[in-house]
């Protein structure tokens, strides 16, 4: 299953950190693309830099867009599924089984109020609980429930740095592009 994210709305400067977090969560929790409206190019650059260091640039990208409607219509034309996350929707647990059967999902989240027409364009309006909270929380829970935790086993290819999990302290390994097996000097292994 492939999941992309569409973030509608971005209040300049005020939302920079939140929008960056949307992109980082999307990347770390297994989605392959984020479309963003109204965000600054510098924000995309920040996330691109992080992806370059931590890996997965061939599997994840960000596209700045000016027209969310066109993206949604293109996805619908291709027969792909649009899931809008909103506190007014149907609880995720009531739809999770059918959603997991989809092959391609565009999950849409807002910044403030989203345009009314999106509720009709979406194949599913899904609530992560029917209380107001945050698009970052809603996206995290949605991706985690969809991928059932398997997203954390994913390999982030071509990482320059990698964390070695530790019970205490921080262990970060710098990766070399080509590594040589210690016991065999015949040539490189990837």
Binding site for ligand SAM (CB under 6 A): 85-88, 109-111, 114, 127-129, 131-135, 138
Q: How many residues does the chain have?
A: 190
Nearer to ligand SAM by C-beta: 64 or 136? 136
Nearest to 111 by CA among 171, 68, 158: 68
Residue nearest to ligand SAM (CB): 110
Nearer to ligand SAM by C-beta: 114 or 159? 114
CB of 66 to ligand SAM, least distance (A): 19
CB of 127 to ligand SAM, least distance (A): 4
Nearer to ligand SAM by C-beta: 40 or 87? 87
CB of 141 to ligand SAM, least distance (A): 8
Nearer to ligand SAM by C-beta: 51 or 135? 135
CB of 12 to ligand SAM, least distance (A): 16
The owner of tokens 């950190």 is: 17
Distance from C-alpha of 53 to C-alpha of 173, rounded to nearest angstrom: 12
CB of 26 to ligand SAM, least distance (A): 13
């Amino acid at each position: 299953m492939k999941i992309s994210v569409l973030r509608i709305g971005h209040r300049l400067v005020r939302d920079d950190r939140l929008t960056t977090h949307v992109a980082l969560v999307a990347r770390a929790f297994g989605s392959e693309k984020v479309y963003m409206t109204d965000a600054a190019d510098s924000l995309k650059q920040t996330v691109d830099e992080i992806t370059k260091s931590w890996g997965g640039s061939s599997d994840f990208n960000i596209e700045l867009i000016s027209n969310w409607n066109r993206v949604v219509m293109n996805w619908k034309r291709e027969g792909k599924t649009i899931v809008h996350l909103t506190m007014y929707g149907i609880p995720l647990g009531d739809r999770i089984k059918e959603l997991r059967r989809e092959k391609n999902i565009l999950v849409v989240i807002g910044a403030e109020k989203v345009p009314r027409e999106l509720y009709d364009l979406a194949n599913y309006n899904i609530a992560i609980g029917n209380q107001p909270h945050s698009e970052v929380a809603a996206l995290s829970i949605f991706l985690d429930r969809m991928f059932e935790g398997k997203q954390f086993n994913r390999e982030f290819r071509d990482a320059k740095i990698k964390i070695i999990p530790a019970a205490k302290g921080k262990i970060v390994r710098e990766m070399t592009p080509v590594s040589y097996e210690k016991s065999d000097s015949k040539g490189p292994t990837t």
